[in-house]
Amino acid sequence: MLRIPCPVCGLRDETEFSYGEDASVRRPDMNEADQKVWHDYVFIRDNPRGPHKEYWHHVSGCRQWIVVDRDTLTHEIFGSALACEVAA
Amino acid sequence: MSHYSALAILRHGLTGNRHWSRAWRDPAPKPKYDVVIVGGGGHGLATAYYLAKEHGIRNVAVLEKGWLGGGNTGRNTTIVRSNYMIPGNSAFYDRSMRLWDNLSQDLNYNVMLSRRGYYFVFHSPGQAEGLRRRANVMLANGIEAEFFDRAQIMKRLPFLDYSPTARFPIYGAFLQPRAGTARHDAVAWGYARGADKQGVDIIQQCEVTNYIWDNQKIVGVETTRGSIRAKKVALAVAGHTSHLAAKAGLRLPIETHILQAFVTEPVKPLVDHVIVYGAAHFYISQSDKGGLVLGGDLDGFNSYAQRGGLPIVEHTLQSAKALIPSISRLRLLRQWAGVMDMTMDGSPIIGKMPVEGLWLTGGWNYGGFKAIPASGYCFAWTIAKGEPHPDNAAFTLERFERGYQIDEAGAGPYPKAH
Ligand SMILES: Cc1cc2nc3c(=O)[nH]c(=O)nc-3n(C[C@H](O)[C@H](O)[C@H](O)COP(=O)(O)OP(=O)(O)OC[C@H]3O[C@@H](n4cnc5c(N)ncnc54)[C@H](O)[C@@H]3O)c2cc1C
Ligand SMILES: [Zn+2]
């Protein structure tokens, strides 16, 4: 069981959250015409064995999307932030 | 190396089983090979076997960082089936089923193939329609499929929960009669022994840490046991595919996720088939030792940890109890997890990579055990001839940019959803 620190609610069980995806992925500009850029956005992931920034949705809590800093090999969690603040 | 037979068992039995020779050698790595295969799971070992057997390429090494079959090949729930319907998948998985037929004889190693049948239980009229469509496509492709309504399935699988309080009522089930299980370790060991016999070097405790480059071309690997040169380097490392691809400058349509499995204490024969629950991600079979083998859903977030979390334990056991109430008081003996190479369309990638000298079989998701014979056969063909076999021609890396995803589940570009 992961224990995920929500910036709003504090330390909560993984089961209160829904996993989103890799938070380093950024949607290209809507005027982007290069196929490869869109292909990479939709399909390609770094999939690191180590530190990973990822979206979680605190569905059964404050319902905020957050970005969690987690190691994919050890599951150690280093911190989190509200997604709206990270993206801004 | 001795041939295994009933006579050999008798002869060795009479001499106190003191003279069995080891099943494969334990050589030191040579400085150079024609082909180096990274990963000593089923896919790597089968590829080495067919390179030697079908193409006469014997100057081959399989490098494994741990022990043979210590990855997903020794961690899976051993289900062998071909209930696929998308072009690209159907022919490939049926080739695998045909290779399974004769595998024990071919390898002279008993892989304990058991064609016990694979039932998929459905719980709504909509689900029934979807499965009927799948069954019809399979039949059109020459793959047997049968369909049973509730009354028929009550006779065939009497121990499921048909009570009015069942959380999800059972409407019927779909059956692939030729599907079943095989002994996973034996598949790794059988291919290892068969490859070794033909001259392939199988080298354990040897982790590939990087590549040797000549200009833009990969010409070998750096390992924990020194540098090894190779004309061709072939990756078969399952959940670690992205990690090794990154060292070659490649980014792939793959995420690594964990999948768990469970075994209960042994009981007398109860579950004669593989049974899949249609209402949640859960399936069950019974091993020859009597333990019930349970599987469920992915843990649901990117992970290389090779250990599972408790939420999925709870989910799996709840599903088990909902489908078969009579097993609710059995105790679990063991629980473990493997790291899965989940792709963006749920289908594998077999072929030459856009880096010169590098080849890949990967993206096996949670269905790669049954694929081992066909994958080894097709990957060996691809490496030897420099072009894909017709049966793996659809499994390219380029399919994603060309819009030819093979999305059997229709789940879209979400690896955890396949
Ligand atoms: C719980 C579970 C249940 C499953 N159930 C089924 C099922 O019922 N039916 C089915 O068809 N499939 C199933 N699968 C999927 C199946 O097990 C895999 O797809 C298949 O075994 C993959 O085989 P492989 O040879 O690619 O990988 P592996 O067996 O994982 O082999 C890869 C090997 O590469 C080695 N390696 C990694 N990095 C390096 C390196 N740098 N240097 C050297 N070696 C390295 C690893 O140690 C490992 O031994 C299941 C998987 C799991 C985890
Ligand atoms: Zn919260």
User: Does A33 fall in a domain?
Assistant: no
- If DSSP codes are grouped into helix, strand and coil, which group holds residue B349? strand
CATH of the domain at A46: 3.30.2270.10
Residues 6+ away with beta carbon under 8 Å from A36: B401
Query: Is pLDDT at B264 greater than 60 in this prediction?
Result: yes
Closest ligand by atom to A9 CA: 2
Question: How, if at all, do strands B118-122 and B32-38 pair?
Answer: unpaired
Query: Is pLDDT at B186 greater than 60 in this prediction?
Result: yes
B 303-362 residues with CB < 8 A to A: 303-305, 309-311, 344
Closest ligand by atom to A17 CA: 2
Query: Is pLDDT at A86 greater than 70 in this prediction?
Result: yes
CB-CB neighbours of B251 under 10 Å = 14
**Mean pLDDT on A43-64:** 98
Query: Is pLDDT at A70 greater than 60 in this prediction?
Result: yes
Tell me which H or E stretch contains B189: helix B184-197
What is the CA(B414)–ligand 1 centre distance, in A? 20
Specify the pLDDT at position B234: 98
Pocket test for ligand 1, best of B202, B369, B377 (most atoms within 8 A of CB): B369
Tell me the C-alpha distance between B240 and B252, whole Å: 12
| Number of domain units in chain A | 1
User: Does A31 fall in a domain?
Assistant: no
Residues 6+ away with beta carbon under 8 Å from B186: B109, B110, B111, B112
Sign of CA dihedral B345, B346, B347, B351: positive
Residue (of B25, B317, B255, B402) closest to A39 by Cα position: B402
Q: Cβ A19–B246 below 8 Å, yes or no? A: no
Tell me the C-alpha distance between B376 and B368, whole Å: 11
Tell me the C-alpha distance between B186 and B148, whole Å: 33
Structural contact between residues B417 and B411, judged by C-beta atoms closer than 8 angstroms: yes
Specify the pLDDT at position B111: 98
Q: B275-305 burial by CB neighbour count: b if 16+ within 10 A, else e? A: bbbbbbbbbbbbbeeebbbbbbbbbbbbbbb
Place B2 in a pLDDT band, splitting at 50, 70 and 90: confident
Specify the pLDDT at position B1: 62
**Mean pLDDT on B304-310:** 95
Structure tokens at A43: 């399909």
User: Does A21 fall in a domain?
Assistant: yes
How much is the ipTM here?
Answer: 0.96
Q: Cβ A46–B304 below 8 Å, yes or no? A: no
Query: Which amino acids bring their CB within 6 angstroms of ligand 1?
Result: B 38-44, 63-66, 70-73, 75-79, 207-208, 236-238, 240, 244, 259-261, 295, 338, 340, 364, 366-370
Query: Is pLDDT at A88 greater than 60 in this prediction?
Result: no
Question: Which atom of ligand 1 is nearest to B361's Cα?
Answer: 26
Backbone angles phi, psi at B346, to 5 degrees: 80, 0
Ion ligand 2 neighbours (CB, 5 A) are A 6, 8-9, 58, 61-62
User: Does A51 fall in a domain?
Assistant: yes
By Cβ distance, the residue of A1, A43, A48 closest to B400 is: A43
**Averaged confidence pLDDT in chain B:** 97
- If DSSP codes are grouped into helix, strand and coil, which group holds residue A79? strand
**Averaged confidence pLDDT in chain A:** 96
Residues 6+ away with beta carbon under 8 Å from B147: B131, B132, B135, B172, B173, B174, B175
What is the CA(B341)–ligand 1 centre distance, in A? 9
Tell me which H or E stretch contains B13: helix B6-14
**Mean pLDDT on B143-170:** 96
DSSP A16-52: G-EEEEETT--PPPTT---HHHHHHHHH-B---SSEE
What is the CA(A62)–ligand 1 centre distance, in A? 38
Chain B residues in contact with A22 by the CB 8 A cut-off are 255, 302
What is the CA(B404)–ligand 2 centre distance, in A? 39
- If DSSP codes are grouped into helix, strand and coil, which group holds residue B149? strand
Residue owning the nearest CA to atom 9 of ligand 1 = B79
DSSP B299-348: EEEE----S--HHHHHHHHHHHHHH-GGGTTPPEEEEEEEEEEEESSS--
Structural contact between residues B350 and B388, judged by C-beta atoms closer than 8 angstroms: yes
* Structural domain span for residue A47: 3-26+38-86
Structural contact between residues B260 and B299, judged by C-beta atoms closer than 8 angstroms: yes
Query: Is pLDDT at B175 greater than 60 in this prediction?
Result: yes
- If DSSP codes are grouped into helix, strand and coil, which group holds residue B103? helix
**Mean pLDDT on B319-329:** 96
From residue B213, alpha-carbon distances to B37, B61, B220, B224, B249 in Å are: 17, 19, 7, 17, 12
Tell me the C-alpha distance between B124 and B157, whole Å: 18
Complete edge-to-edge strand list for the sheet that includes strand A51-57: A18-22, A51-57, A65-71, A77-82
Q: A59-71 burial by CB neighbour count: b if 16+ within 10 A, else e? A: eebeebbbbbbbb
Decide: pTM greater than 0.90: yes
What is the least distance, in Å, from the CA of B264 to any CA of chain A? 22
Residue (of B167, B101, B94) closest to B137 by Cα position: B94
User: Does A32 fall in a domain?
Assistant: no
Chain B residues in contact with A36 by the CB 8 A cut-off are 401
CA dihedral of residues B25, B28, B33, B39 (deg, nearest 10): 70
